[in-house]
A and B are shown apart, each in its own frame.
Chain A
Amino acid sequence: MTKDIVSEIKRDYLHNLAENGRREDGRNFNDTRPISIELGLIESAEGSARVKLGQTDLIAGVKINLGEPFPDTPDKGVLTTNAELLPMASPEFELGPPRENAIELARVVDRGIRESQALNIDKLCISPEEKVWIVFIDIHVLDYDGNLFDAATLGAISALTNTVIPASRFEEGEDYQLEVQHIPIACTIAKLGKTLLVDPKLDEEKICEARLTVTTDENGDIRAMQKGNDGYFEVDELKSAIKMAQEVAKNIRGQFTFLQPTAQ
């Protein structure tokens, strides 16, 4: 539906550029836009990060409460992820409860964090069946210029690295740093014609036939994937997309010293 907003001329232009090995903003196919991450900017949150990926801008905040575990996992803490596509971020976003796109975003981010076992949820249990820490990750998108999956995953994991468990507020002893065992990094690849390109900006994202988000850990192992849009990948394209994602993630890891596990 949103695809129609990009004009035919722009669509052809971007496709032609891609066929000739180029992109509108001069990047190579495997370049991301510049990334900046600001940590701990929200004092009222237990952890926070503001991520700018080119013009895409969002804040991830972590809040931690004491609560009851789920009945089927009585000895594990709870992790929950939510994303808000604020109307301020784009004329396409509307007020109201999260819709399809916001839900998909939150769930893809959640899978990356959860499946990489970034948090040791066993350690978030205080007493089984009664008291566990509940970790809420909330993503607020402020400005939307494409590729929310990568920016939001980066925001979530960055915020977790500077999260302090507010134990004293709940009379559970001293506050302490939340341990992060693994660092998942998401990389989204868009397919334009026969071209695969990393970190699509808004127009590229809108006209791409298909996209693939690959979340890898520090060993390059795959922890989560999500294909999107009504286009397709062939088997070989899929394999090269994953290899691209592994390379890009490695590169991003190298840019930020705090993207390191704080515990084993």
Chain B
Amino acid sequence: MMTDEIQLIDESGIRLDGRRADELRPIKIEAGVLKNADGSAYIEWGKNKILAAVYGPREVHPRHLMNPSRAIVQCKYNMAAFSVGDRKRPGYDRRSVEISKVISDAMEHVVFTERFPRTTIDVFIEVIQANAGTRCAGLTVASVALADAGIPMRDLVPSCAAGKIDNQVVLDLFKDEDNYGEADLPIAYVPRTGKILLLQMDGHMTYDEFDKALDMLVSACEEIYTIQRDALRRKYSEDASEKLLAEIQNSNLASIEQPSILEGSTDIPPEDSTIITDNRKGGGFND
């Protein structure tokens, strides 16, 4: 096998990209990156680049999927044709169908679906550049996008994979390691509750190796969880401070106009026509 020829981890335990066995690739998450979507987020995880967008709760299509007692969560994982070395045939293949399914299951557990009966919450995960570990990165970023959409959730869902190279258990394989790796174990683990929401595995691991991998994954997920929360905090503390600033600057105007804005969109036309005019202006420009 190729693994005999290429050394993926050196004597001092350093991997090809300079990481230690239990070290994650650098992860950056940004919340609220798209205009049209109800919520969105972008992640760079090593060389992975992935966008997630959330629409909903909205009408279910096709209608037979509708659940009268709760919302359904439909994730669609998709890889761009240019995201990998050899062009990937565009469209939905069997791998994407399966990944979408396991991600949807994990999401459905954390969303308060009972709050939105008869609706769907659609989550689109677009892999723009892939470098191994995209399902974990996709799930990680999708849950930030859900939070950005303001959808009530029990928790964020951090996700990460462990694997085996040169007979050693390591965290978060990148492409070159994944190609020659001997096992791959992606999980999603919620630190606050200790729940495992996604788990797949292929390759070859003894029970003890699995045990070791799981330990690594639990602390990795804790680390990713912090990065997710930071992304949201950054977005919303910025937004909040901007709003506050705007409010102070317009404080004189606001105190006069605000009541009319509030009355604005009611069905009953107010008697004073000047208020209606003010209102339309305000609505048109401020939104």
Interface residues in chain A, defined as those with a beta carbon under 8 Å from any beta carbon in chain B: 1, 4, 72, 98, 100, 103-104, 106-107, 111, 114-116, 212, 217, 219-235, 238-239, 242-243, 246
Contacts and interface: CB of A to CB of B under 8 A. Distances in A.
A228 B197 CA distance: 9
B285 interface: no
Contact of B210 (A217, A228, A242): A242
Contact of B194 (A100, A115, A234): A234
B40 to A, nearest CB: 23
Interface string B82-113: 00001000000011011011100110110000
Contacts of A243: 207
Contacts of A98: 94
Contact of A235 (B98, B198, B218): B218
B204 A221 contact: yes
Contact of A234 (B106, B109, B196): B196
Contacts of A230: 105-106, 108-109, 197
The 6 A-B pairs with the shortest beta carbon distances in the complex, nearest first, are: A232-B195, A225-B201, A227-B199, A230-B108, A230-B109, A115-B202
B211 interface: yes
Nearest to B182: A115
B200 A222 contact: no
What is the predominant secondary structure among interface residues of chain A facing chain B? mixed
30 contacts: A72-B86, A98-B94, A100-B97, A100-B100, A107-B94, A107-B95, A114-B202, A115-B204, A116-B204, A220-B206, A221-B206, A223-B202, A224-B202, A225-B199, A225-B200, A227-B197, A227-B198, A227-B199, A230-B105, A231-B109, A232-B109, A232-B190, A232-B195, A233-B199, A234-B196, A235-B194, A235-B196, A238-B199, A243-B207, A246-B207
B214 interface: yes
Nearest to A107: B98
B26 interface: no
B65 A233 contact: no
A222 B196 contact: no
A222 B98 contact: no
Contacts of A220: 206-207
A223 B203 contact: yes
Nearest to A112: B202
Given A107-B94, A212-B199, A242-B207, 9 more contacts: A100-B101, A103-B98, A114-B202, A116-B204, A220-B206, A224-B201, A226-B199, A227-B197, A238-B214
Q: Chain B interface residue count: which class?
A: 35 or more
Interface in B162-212: 185, 190, 193-207, 210-211
Given A104-B101, A233-B195, A1 B205 contact: no
B67 A1 contact: yes
Nearest to B179: A72
Contacts of B86: 72
Contacts of A212: 199
Contact of A1 (B65, B102, B109, B193): B65
A229 B205 CA distance: 24
A232 B192 CA distance: 13
A226 B196 CA distance: 12
B2 to A, nearest CB: 11
A239 B211 contact: yes
Interface string B122-156: 00000000000000000000000000000000000
Contacts of B108: 230
Contacts of B101: 100, 104
Contact of B201 (A217, A222, A228, A232): A222
Contacts of A226: 102, 199-201
A103 B214 contact: no
B214 A228 contact: no
Given A222-B207, A238-B214, A229 B97 contact: no
Contacts of B105: 227-230
B126 to A, nearest CB: 20
